[in-house]
A and B are shown apart, each in its own frame.
Chain A
Amino acid sequence: MIQFSKVNKWYGEYQALTDVTAEVKKGEVVVICGPSGSGKSTLIRTVNRLEEIKSGVICVNGQDIHAPGLRINDFRSGIGFVFQSFNLFPHLSVSENVCLAPVRVSGRSKREAREHAAALLDRVGLAHKANAYPQQLSGGQQQRVAIARALAMNPPVMLFDEPTSALDPEMVGEVLNVMKSLARDGMTMVCVTHEMGFAREVSDRVWFMDRGVILEENAPEAFFTAPQHARSKAFLSDLRAH
């Protein structure tokens, strides 16, 4: 579904990604973890081209996303993206947030979009908030709406960039539950997250990144119980110390 092939990226002099080569198969749930500054957010943002790359190839569903001259908008709706800071549109109601792309990009009728939105909101447990505005919702509720909004375009793959990092602890669970149900339904997912419990429970593989390189790649149990690399060991022991 997603193939990274020798991906390199620089911010000026600083190399953010170095020769990243990896693959996410259809139906897989991959968790990317690592210390801050390791390039995990950068990597996931290159998948829908919110970040450009200097060299290498990234293929999503067979399409080279960074091909020059590519009309990226046509492909972005096929990649669901959930942001750390939700980024809901404050001037639109919850339902309108979810309907915006189906109506304006896919050209669906408003009635059709609203019905589809209602179903999605029900799936994330917020059907009763369809007419509310983002400012009236809690952080956890806003993030669940953001997930529904990304799902509205029926993407085959969903990307999550630290979806729970901006939430108060008591709201993390409700968002993770939605993500778990998505995973169980067979969605291809890539998640940058610190939530190791989530990783152990639903992910198929864990990528550990440090300084722009995927240092270690393993099944979750194997990674958490027997990390190979020195820095993975250090990272995990730091996490456990809290």
Chain B
Amino acid sequence: MLDIIRDNWLLLLVGQYPTGPLGGLVLTLILSVMGLLLSFPISIGIALCRTSPIRFLYVSSTVLVYIVRGVPLVMFVFWGYFLVPILVGHSVTAFTTLICTLIVYESAYLSEVVRAGIQALPKGQVEASRALGMGYWKTNLWVVMPQALYNMVPSIISQFVSIIKETSIGYVISVQELTFSANQVNNNLLTRPFPVFLILAITYFIVCFVLTQCAQHLERTITRKRSPKMTQLRSIANDSVLEGQ
């Protein structure tokens, strides 16, 4: 198994770069970071709609989230592959399709995390802020969001881990991320699928496990700083996170 790593580590790390497009583990991480950063603002918007007193916003955002929760990621990827070129007007790379799909998918799941964070805040915080004369937007900007997001950092990291795992779906539409690259190695070697895929699994494991440990460490730190109620309500957020994959 070590000889496979020794011979193919470059392909697994960066794909065909520099003779081809960037791929491998680096592409996986780029996809994941982009997915998180781009879906984050959208997820905050959806979470605000989900907690909004305006009925139209509440219903439409709830429908969106339930659709995403009810349909497999693979189906979304195929929809993206079909719809994105139509919406944009010209053909797009598989990378673009994957990013668009991930953003839509992740915004919905991440919004559940943010929503749990918002609802975990004691009602008194909003009341105190409103009693001082701060309106809806000011209250959210200066009182609700800073606290909700800080409390939800461990859950957001867990969701990031889910995104990393979800990027493996790029294999299906030939995005050259880590899983696809490992498959290429397997196709080259042909007779040693088990070690190749085991290396693939271990690579994901190391990356995701380290991040999960960071999240758990942060969770302990934050719990020490805030009230115990947060732990109970953050576990609700974690439930929606683990749905991601």
Contact = CB atoms under 8 A, between A and B. Distances in A.
Interface in B99-132: 122, 124-125, 127-132
B131 A89 contact: no
Contacts of A182: none
A104 B131 contact: no
A75 B135 CA distance: 11
A50 B130 contact: yes
Summarize B's interface: helix, strand, loop or mixed: helix
A198 interface: no
B183 interface: no
A79 to B, nearest CB: 8
A83 B124 contact: yes
Given A83-B124, A90-B147, A104 B130 contact: no
Nearest to A48: B131
B218 interface: no
Interface string A146-167: 1001100100000000000000
B127 A87 contact: yes
Contacts of A73: 130, 133-135
Contact of A153 (B128, B132, B225): B132
A75 B132 CA distance: 9
Contact of B132 (A74, A91, A100): A100
A77 interface: yes
B142 A83 contact: no
B150 A105 contact: no
A135 interface: yes
A100 B130 CA distance: 12
B138 interface: yes
A19 B1 CA distance: 84
B226 interface: yes
A236 interface: no
B146 interface: yes
Contacts of A91: 146-147, 150
A60 to B, nearest CB: 13
B133 A76 contact: yes
Given A76-B132, A149-B132, 6 more contacts: A73-B135, A87-B124, A87-B127, A90-B226, A100-B142, A104-B142
Interface of A: 48, 50, 73-79, 81, 83, 85, 87-91, 100-101, 104-105, 135, 146, 149-150, 153
